[in-house]
Structure 1
Amino acid sequence: MIDDGPLFKQGLCRAVESFERDMKISPWWPRLARVDQDGYCRWRFEETVFRFALGVRKLIEAAKISIEVQAVNIEVGWAPLRGKSYPDTLTYDRIDRLYDLDRIQERTISLVNFCNSVIHSFTLVAGVDVGRFKRVYMRDFFFASDRQRREGVLHMTWQTFRQCVVLPVVADELITTRWFRTGDGKELRIPSSRGDDFDLEEAVELYMNLSTGNKKAVERFIAAFRAEYGASPF
C-alpha cells in the first residue's frame, strides 16, 4: 500500500525532472558515464520511464489515482512491421530497420495501457538531440510490449510524455473514493476526482472500461457480494 499518494506522485515527477537535468550537465557526468556516454543515457532513460510507469501502476493498485486520470487519452504513433521479422534480444533497438516509420498512424492509449506497455516492454528505445557542450535533450521514444512487438511499435514524443502522462498524474486530486467490501475481505475501491457531481453508475462503468482485468474483477466482486448479502453493491 501507498500511504501518501500526493507525495508519491511528487516523487515520481521529481525523478523525471532530475533525469532531464542530469542529461544537460554533460560533459560533467559521473566518471563511469564518461567512458560510455551512450550507455549511460540509455540506462538513465530506461530507469526513469520504467520506474515512473511502475510507480503509477502501484498508485493505481492502491486506489491513489482517479479513474478519470487513468482513462485520459494519450496521443501516440504506431508503426507496423516492415516484414515478418520482429525484434529479438540482438535487434530490439533497430527500430528503423524492423518497423515502417514512414507509415506511422495516429492512435490514442489510456494511462493504464501506457504503463502496462512500458512495464512489460521488450522494446524501449529513446531518441535524443545533442546540443552545445554535448548536452542531451530527450526528443521521443519507441516502446512495445512482448506481444505488441510482433505487430508494431508505439511512438511518443517526450513533450507528450511530460504533458499528457507526468503532468496529469502529479496534478491529480482525489475527491471521492467509494469502497465496497465483503465479509471475507474482498474489496472494490473506485477513486474519483469528481465531488458533488460524482455518479456511482458512471464511475463503475468507467472503471470497468479501463481494462479487461478491471471488468473481470468487478464481475467477480459483484458475484461474491450477491452470494453473501443477496443484493448488488451498486
Structure 2
Amino acid sequence: MGEQILQYEDDAKLLHARLDEAGEALKWAHAESKAAAARVVELEGSCKAAEAAAKALEAEKAALEHSISKAASESMDLDGTVTEARKEVDRLQKEVAGLRVENEGMAKKLAQHKEEDDWETKSAVSALSGDSEMSSVGPDTCGVGLRITEVAPYRVRGCLAGGPAHRTGEIRPGDVLLSVDGVSVAPLSIVEVRKLIVGAAGSRTEMKFQRSRGDERKTLNVVMSRS
C-alpha cells in the first residue's frame, strides 16, 4: 500500500511537471500569436502603403501621359504655325520682289523722263539761239537742223534755214523719218532718235524718209554732213 502511494505521488509530480511544461508552451504560443498578429498588422500597413504608392504611380503615369499628349498637340500646332509663317515669308518675299521690279521700272521711267527733260532743256536753249531742232547740242556734236514731231511716226515739221537738211533740198514737211544710218526709228523714243541724229561735226549720216501722196508711197535716201 505504501509503495502504491509513493507511485501515485511520483505520477502526480510528473503530471504537475507536464502541466508546467504545457503552461509554458501555452505562454509561448500566446506570445507567438501576439507576434504573428503584430506582423499581420504590419503587413497590412505595408500593403496599404503599397496600394497608396501604386495609386500615386498610376496618377503620375496618367499625368505624364496627359503631358505627352499635350506636348504632341502643341508640337502639331507649332508645326502648323511654322508652316503658316513660312507661307507668309514666301508671300512677303514675292511681294518684295514685285515691288523691286516695280521700283526698277519706275526708276527707268524716271531716268527716261529726266533724260527727256534734259533734252527738252537743251532744245529750249538751242531755240533761243536760233536752232530749235538742236542742230548743235555741244561743242563737238552737231545735228542736221531737222525738226520732227515728238512721237512716232516721226514726221518732218520743217528744216532749219541754212542747215544740212535744208541744203539738200530733198526733205519736205510731212515726210516720215524711217531710219538713221540703217537703224529703224519706229520703236525708239524721241530722245533715242535725237541721239542717232546728232554726231561729230562734219560726220556723214544717211536718213531714210517716206513721202506719201494719196495712195502713192515714195522712199527717199538722203545723205548729209552734220554741222
TM-score, with length taken from structure 2: 0.23
Higher Rg of the two aligned structures: 2
Relative to its length, the structure with more helix (as a share) is: 2
